[in-house]
Structure 1
Amino acid sequence: MQLRRALATVAAAAAAAVLLGQPASAAPAPAIQAATLASTISLSNCSASLVRYPTSVSTDRAMMLTNGHCYERGFIAAGTVLRNVSSTRSGTLLNASGGALGTVRADRVLYATMTGTDVTLYRLNTTFASLQSTYGATALTLSSSRPSAGTSMSIPSGYWKRVWNCAIDGFVPTLREDEWSWTDSIRYNAGCDTIGGTSGSPIVSSATGQVIGINNTGNEDGGRCTLNNPCEVAADGTVSVLSGRGYGEQTYWFTTCLTSARVIDLTLSGCLLPD
């Protein structure tokens, strides 16, 4: 997972260097386009982003999306799902060029797991409208559709203040890393060289500007199903390893589990989020 790669990268670098004002009935402004750092968030050890559901309204609490393995209390054990847990996680909200706009702070984990997918979705202590009014920040919209192979995408990292431009090479029935397994994972094209610290970065469709996934891992050394060396498991159980390849997890799953009040309900028919 690219969180540990981030810590190692920062340590090496350190050694080398001695290293929204709308009516309640209205939705927030349309999603920004890809290929900038607007609405990304820099965490202490990961990347994150300011996000909204397609049905969110301006008076809703804003949300911050990152990986499950970026959860502030450490990696989440396989088989565990966290819901409505208190939090004080904070990060720095960035503008399009990577400049700091201000600090955003969470008060609750709405959903987090490293089982089936690798996500943490936080509720912030302020609304979309307040962030729009204060910083001019417009949240990225979570797409409600499954992405397709060949989709051009950007991976903007708040941690590194850098954007990777890549494409979806295909999908992996099961991606396995150490004790964790993820379902229908996104495989990036060869040469999409995401690095440690990009964990939690949104995967943004170049065509729509909407979030279609979240960056979470890459095979560093050609290892087989070990930490920082995920392997691909086909439907028939065949295991393969693509050294150097990066991966992400789909995020439209959130939209399959929402009530009309925009609350996550894991019991809803068709809900794809693990429970």
Structure 2
Amino acid sequence: MNKPLLAALATLVITGAGVAPAAASAQAGSTAPAAKAVDFAGTVALSNCSGSVIRFPASADSDPALVLSNGHCLETGFPSPGQVIVNQSSSRSFGLLNSAGSQVATLRANKVVYSTMTDTDVTIYQLTRTYAQIKSSYGISALTVSDTHPVAGTAIKVVSGYWKRTYSCNIDGFVYRLKEGGWTWKDSVRYTSSCNTIGGTSGSPVIDTATGKVVAVNNTGNEDGERCTENNPCEVDENGNVTVREGINYAEETYQIPACFKAGNQLDLNRSGCVLPKP
């Protein structure tokens, strides 16, 4: 996982580093404009992580809105390897951001719909408001989760609601298995080096700049060059060969999530095409 938030704060103080405004995070020298404007609208700040209000291609405006973050951002602690949590009561609050990164509302969950750190690293909350209510009150729409596998080389932005900061890079490739401590994640996204995410960016949406859709959720990076330890994930290929990439960061794909939700944004892990781990 990205380094603990307190450690990240200490690093910023010691080094004198500041939180870069969104405009400063674009890659220098880039002249090709993004097909879709990527800003902070629809992202949220959690107490210790980042996240986003999401919808699926088949979601209706009248459906209860959902928030996506990491499994390791769950307020009750990290899910154990093999553990899957569904429909757990929650009253967690989220600071909703507008396009400029200003908090315009506090949203509240009524349950954890799904959370796991097995095969992937996601928590999905259900909110007490619908998409239509959020749009009517604050003029902010949810981010749509793509239901197709991301493509290597794609230009992306990691948008952190906690830090109000964006990171711009590309998808460098995909990792057969990403191991960190006792957890293993499948088919993870590897960033190119300019997405140097830090603690607090966990749970940030990874947005395809050409479509404006969410293709992954930011979750970890190898900080110290260690092999397969916490905060130092390693890559394992189909033959069991291990590669360590110090300073490189990763995300978990989200294209498989929409297939696990039926009408009304209701979780159904038995739906055809749903491959998320079950309890």
Tell me the TM-score normalized by structure 2.
Answer: 0.89
Partner of 2:184: 181
Where do 1:1-275 residues align within 5 Å? 1-2=1-2, 4-13=3-12, 33-275=36-278
Structure 1 CA distance for aligned equivalents of residues 153 and 11 of structure 2: 35
SS in 2 for 1:163: strand
1:7 aligned partner, one-letter code? L
1:143 aligned partner, one-letter code? S
SS in 1 for 2:5: helix
Q: Deviations over 1:42-72 (max 9, x none)?
A: 1111001011111111111111110000000
Q: Deviations over 1:180-202 (max 9, x none)?
A: 00000000012321111110000
1:177–1:230 contact (8 Å) kept in structure 2? yes
* Range with greater deviation from structure 2 (249-258 or 150-159): 249-258
Shift of the 33–7 alpha-carbon distance from structure 1 to 2, 3 Å rule, reads farther
Structure 1 CA distance for aligned equivalents of residues 101 and 50 of structure 2: 12
Structure 2 CA distance for aligned equivalents of residues 34 and 78 of structure 1: 37
2:64–2:264 contact (8 Å) kept in structure 1? no
SS in 1 for 2:171: strand
Structure 2 CA distance for aligned equivalents of residues 116 and 198 of structure 1: 20
1:7–1:45 contact (8 Å) kept in structure 2? no
SS in 2 for 1:268: coil
* Range with greater deviation from structure 2 (192-201 or 252-261): 252-261
Deviation at 1:256, TM superposition (A): 2.0
Structure 1 CA distance for aligned equivalents of residues 225 and 13 of structure 2: 26
2:243 aligned partner, one-letter code? S
Q: Let me know the Cα RMSD of the aligned residues.
A: 1.8
Unaligned residue ranges in structure 2 (runs of 5+):
17-34
SS in 2 for 1:116: coil
Partner of 2:25: none
Tell me the TM-score normalized by structure 1.
Answer: 0.91
Q: Deviations over 1:212-240 (max 9, x none)?
A: 00000000000100000000000111111
The runs of at least 4 aligned residues of structure 1 exceeding 6 Å deviation read 14-17
Structure 1 CA distance for aligned equivalents of residues 254 and 156 of structure 2: 14
1:34–1:154 contact (8 Å) kept in structure 2? no
SS in 1 for 2:7: helix
Unaligned residue ranges in structure 1 (runs of 5+):
18-31
1:5 aligned partner, one-letter code? P
Structure 1 CA distance for aligned equivalents of residues 137 and 193 of structure 2: 40
1:231–1:242 contact (8 Å) kept in structure 2? yes
SS in 2 for 1:169: strand
